[in-house]
Structure 1
């Protein structure tokens, strides 16, 4: 088995995983439309898949909280994801009925659902030991998204929409192979780590946790329509696939820039202030997209993606990390289950319905989601106080 440094191991994984994501995410709506699926049904399909991720992260993921479980679990997750995705595109193409696609998407998302949470836990563990820089490894994921979204515009122009799922499957296969590499530094359990399964419901009953989850849900959930329907929307407005691909690439370039400047620009900011920055950007970005499809406006809106997306992620990561001492695993599972799973599922279904049945712009709906966050404040959690925790918190501020 090939051995490499933890930083190279995780950077390779991030690049492969997010390349697959960048290939499939922006253009899957076009592929499903080619199979005869309406906008409203696409929203329902996406909702079913994200709901499956919510369930798996709420139930199964917390059981794999021990250090020795993480890498084997990630390998199994990627292997089963590859099988599930191949079944999805093969059987879905043969019998493209709504319920067949829904069942296959649920199976695929049950397999891949824990991948982001588990890979974050692995990165955080190595960052805690100063073996990698979280922000640097995440940069490779953003680079992969940029490359994928730019390439797919050209691929679709020359090979058609049918190339989208095939490229996605190739990317997932490469991701699984990458996980088979062995980090040169084994993951070792620290003596002060909790070995028992965390009590998610106890953490969920905390007022501060509920406010954090609500704000993160509204901000991250507001991206649901963008992720799953912006490509279809822009295509209907006359933008060609090359331009759409470049717009997606621009958004991921803004993510790269945000991560690069975050160490100096936001290291002294409170979590609540970071969230407020993301709130302002969310309302501004989706409001502008609701009123205009002019290319200069879309370019500006895509540049804001670095703040609306990465700002929300950075704020959430810092909040979770600063709670490491008592409820880190539970908070991480809740974050990936609710804001990144359940709420995205609901918003995706709602945006699909709006596109198909209503004259109301889905972008107005998404902009309104940010307004309550103006009046909500995520309270700064108490730092853990341990040397290791302070080290990792400083490291993750650069993410």
Structure 2
């Protein structure tokens, strides 16, 4: 087993994980269409998968709140995800019926659902010890998405849509191998792990509910983009290469955002970051709905760094600035509700809009950002006095 610094370990994981995600995400709608699944049913299938992520993050993930559980849990999640994805490709291709695909997608998402929440929790631990910078490690995920989406445009054009799930499986296998490396600095607990609050008590907090509402609207506004933009642009006459480059451009903007985030937004309040993301959401999806002009679409894709990364950075900052024994529960709630349940609902609605309505789904997505311009998430100042002794102890043990 290879040993490496925590920053290298997490950067490697982020690159491998988001490469496999970037391979599959933009083009899975085309693959499912090839299997004979309609737009509306694709939305339902994706909704089932995201609902499964919501359930697993709401129930199982919070149980692994002890630092010693996090890395082993992540390894098991990736191993089961690889098995589930292979089964999805194999059985789904042989029997491409709606309910068979739905069952396979649910099983796969139950396995992979905790991965992002747990990896974020690991990043937060090491970031508090100054062992890594969250924005920098996520930057490698954005690089991977850029490479994957650009490459897959060419791969799909030359080898067909059937290559999409195969490349996704290879990416997941590489991710699993990356998690088997061992960080040279062990994870050190920053709080009494027995004081972890019940997830329902955390959820019932008014400040948490407001945070989840804003994050849900902003995160959920990307549902139609993630799952149907490729199909939508294909119907508008854009070729696979152009679509791949548009996706790549959006991830390049993410890279730039993370590169500058530490200096540019370090002094920004969480509420201000959320408001910036909200304004960008309204502008981006409104313009995307209004025109298919390639220059306008290029501008809209550049805004992805603010709409997507801005929402993530705001959410991570909110979790970091709250009491530390809540952070696993908050991470789980964020990935269960905004990144799980709400995305599932929006995906299903966008699939229905594409199939049964003349309303452009991007207008619906733009409307989701409007309330977030006026809602204000409470800014919380972390308790530095509680953390300092534990931080010094962590450095001493390293």
Sort the TM-score into its range (normalised by shorter chain): over 0.9
Taking the aligned partners of 2:285 and 2:389, their CA distance within structure 1 comes to: 36
Q: Unaligned stretches of 5+ in structure 2? A: 392-398
Given that 2:192 and 2:325 are in contact with CA atoms closer than 8 Å, whether structure 1 keeps it comes out as no
Written as runs of structure 1 = structure 2, the 5 A alignment for 1:60-99 is 60-99=60-99
Taking the aligned partners of 2:389 and 2:277, their CA distance within structure 1 comes to: 24
User: Are residue 59 (structure 1) and residue 52 (structure 2) matched?
Assistant: no
Taking the aligned partners of 2:220 and 2:109, their CA distance within structure 1 comes to: 17
Given that 2:196 and 2:325 are in contact with CA atoms closer than 8 Å, whether structure 1 keeps it comes out as no
Taking the aligned partners of 2:21 and 2:73, their CA distance within structure 1 comes to: 20
Could you tell me how far 1:193 is from its partner in structure 2?
3.6
Could you tell me how far 1:177 is from its partner in structure 2?
0.8
Could you tell me how far 1:198 is from its partner in structure 2?
2.9
Could you tell me how far 1:203 is from its partner in structure 2?
1.2
1:379 is aligned to: 378
Could you tell me how far 1:189 is from its partner in structure 2?
2.5
Taking the aligned partners of 1:332 and 1:226, their CA distance within structure 2 comes to: 23
Taking the aligned partners of 1:298 and 1:386, their CA distance within structure 2 comes to: 48
User: Are residue 339 (structure 1) and residue 375 (structure 2) matched?
Assistant: no
Taking the aligned partners of 1:182 and 1:255, their CA distance within structure 2 comes to: 28
1:102 is aligned to: 102
Taking the aligned partners of 1:100 and 1:162, their CA distance within structure 2 comes to: 18
Could you tell me how far 1:383 is from its partner in structure 2?
2.0
User: Are residue 126 (structure 1) and residue 131 (structure 2) matched?
Assistant: no
1:117 is aligned to: 117
Moved over 6 A (4+): 389-392
Given that 2:196 and 2:326 are in contact with CA atoms closer than 8 Å, whether structure 1 keeps it comes out as no
- Secondary structure of 2:193's aligned partner: coil
Could you tell me how far 1:196 is from its partner in structure 2?
4.7
Aligned length: 391
1:136 is aligned to: 136
Could you tell me how far 1:325 is from its partner in structure 2?
3.2
Q: What is the RMSD of the two structures over their aligned residues, measured on CA atoms?
A: 1.5
Taking the aligned partners of 2:204 and 2:323, their CA distance within structure 1 comes to: 17
What's the TM-score once normalised by structure 2's chain length?
Answer: 0.96
Given that 2:218 and 2:281 are in contact with CA atoms closer than 8 Å, whether structure 1 keeps it comes out as yes
Could you tell me how far 1:371 is from its partner in structure 2?
1.1
2:256 is aligned to: 257
Could you tell me how far 1:82 is from its partner in structure 2?
0.1
What's the TM-score once normalised by structure 1's chain length?
Answer: 0.96
Written as runs of structure 1 = structure 2, the 5 A alignment for 1:359-374 is 359-374=358-373
Written as runs of structure 1 = structure 2, the 5 A alignment for 1:13-24 is 13-24=13-24
2:247 is aligned to: 248
- Secondary structure of 1:89's aligned partner: helix
Could you tell me how far 1:63 is from its partner in structure 2?
0.5
Taking the aligned partners of 2:122 and 2:294, their CA distance within structure 1 comes to: 40
1:358 is aligned to: 357
Taking the aligned partners of 1:91 and 1:212, their CA distance within structure 2 comes to: 40
Taking the aligned partners of 1:390 and 1:347, their CA distance within structure 2 comes to: 44
Written as runs of structure 1 = structure 2, the 5 A alignment for 1:14-53 is 14-53=14-53
Q: Unaligned stretches of 5+ in structure 1? A: 393-399
Query: Bigger CA drift: 201-210 or 345-354?
Result: 201-210
- Secondary structure of 2:194's aligned partner: coil
Taking the aligned partners of 2:324 and 2:117, their CA distance within structure 1 comes to: 18
Query: Bigger CA drift: 197-206 or 222-231?
Result: 197-206
- Secondary structure of 2:85's aligned partner: helix
User: Are residue 212 (structure 1) and residue 211 (structure 2) matched?
Assistant: yes
The verdict on how the C-alpha distance between 1:130 and 1:4 changes in structure 2, with shifts beyond 3 A counting, is same
> Could you report, residue by residue, the CA deviation over 1:30-89 in whole angstroms, capped at 9, with x for unpaired residues?
000000000000000000000000000000000000011011000000000000000001
